[in-house]
Amino acid sequence: MKKNGLLIIILTFVLFSFTDIIHIKNERYEGHRPILPPESVTSNRNLYFVFLHGIDSWCDGSPFANMGFENIRRAMSVVGYSYHDNRFLLYSYMGGHIENGNWVPYPYTRKNTGQSLYLSVYQLEQLIENITQANPEARFILVGHSLGGRIALDFVSTTHPESRKKIHGVITLNSPLMGSTINVPGILMRILDASGSVWGSTAVKELIYESRFYQDFLQLRTSSIKQLQRDGIQVATFSHYKDYFVRSKTSCLIDAEGDPLTAGFILNNNPTHSKYRFNSHLQILDDQSVISYIVTLASPSP
């Protein structure tokens, strides 16, 4: 068992070593800061936050034990939220239910996070519908890290108009919005799949397949983002320049001129320090620019 575990770790490292190194024009993002949302909420009393974790995460079924996003939740105190606020909802890849008017996520395992993206998006849709039934006045801000951000944006882009009206904003953090730039040899993927590793799962295969149609997918994603913005939904796609797992090309949406399509931007985009780091994938959760944007989005208008 120890040898198998070590093999999986080595193969996972090799997998990410095949990632294309993408360089984006750095000067376009120098000094770029979050822009204030053009439409603030009149009240956040019924404004819920849905926090979505990415692949290889897990949940024991309790509402807050595995919620994470700690610094974001702490910062929300300035706009009237508590650290264990019932308006903070933890997304589960296995769904959940309403208990005494509050959301309770079902437990999920690391393996569950590798299920098809379509099923994961469906689970988010069910969460929104369940909360809306319990509180018809509910509106939502979706905050997703890594694969969680991809699920959030896919849901908002494809859901029916009635559900879309309930969404005030969607923030993605180091999320593979354009698939994966990982160039994985077929034999390596088969080994990962046979080992039961989540890195050989259906979700990963779907992301890799999408990358073959990058330009077509970019056009569709751009059109979808612009429609969401016209509908009054605040969209921000943030990425960390040094993220080893999800490269900026796929996580921060930009136009043909290289400018951000959304209120999000590339963090720590310093051309003199181009080394990629494993911890950059998680560091974005503690970035003050990201936190400030989220707090502003939930701030009631005067």
Residues near 267 by Cβ (< 8 Å), separated by ≥ 6? 238, 239, 240, 241, 284, 287, 289, 290
Structure confidence at residue 98 (pLDDT): 96
The answer to whether 275 and 163 are in contact (CB under 8 A) is: no
Structure confidence at residue 188 (pLDDT): 67
- Residue range 220-229: mean pLDDT, rounded: 93
Each residue's pLDDT tens digit, 187-207: 766 776 777 788 888 999 899
Task: Show the tokens assigned to 176.
Answer: 């593979």
- Can you give the pTM of this predicted structure? 0.85
Edge-to-edge strand list for the sheet holding 88-90? 88-90, 47-52, 139-145, 167-173, 234-240, 266-267
Higher pLDDT, 3 or 258: 258
Res. 277 pLDDT band, cuts 50 70 90: low
Q: Thinking of the domain 2-17+44-297, which architecture would CATH place it in?
A: 3-Layer(aba) Sandwich (3.40)
Q: How far apart are CA 92 and CA 80, in angstroms?
A: 25
Count Cα atoms within 13 angstroms, Cβ side, for 192.
24
pLDDT at 109 over 80: yes
Map tokens 């999920």 to a residue.
Answer: 108
| Environment class of 122 (CB within 10 Å of its CB; exposed 0-12, middle 13-18, buried 19+) | middle
pLDDT at 249 over 50: yes
pLDDT at 42 over 80: no
Q: How far apart are CA 67 and CA 53, in angstroms?
A: 8
Each residue's pLDDT tens digit, 285-299: 999 999 999 999 999
147, 145, 236, 183: CA torsion to nearest 10: -40
Task: Show the tokens assigned to 159.
Answer: 């859901």
Domains of the chain by residue range: 2-17+44-297
Query: Which of 159, 281, 289 minimizes the C-alpha distance to 236?
Result: 289
The answer to whether 118 and 203 are in contact (CB under 8 A) is: no
pLDDT at 34 over 60: no
Quickly list DSSP for 4-48.
HHHHHHHHHHHHHHTB------GGGGTT--PPPPSS-BS--TTEE
**Strand 102-105, strand 96-99: pairing:** antiparallel
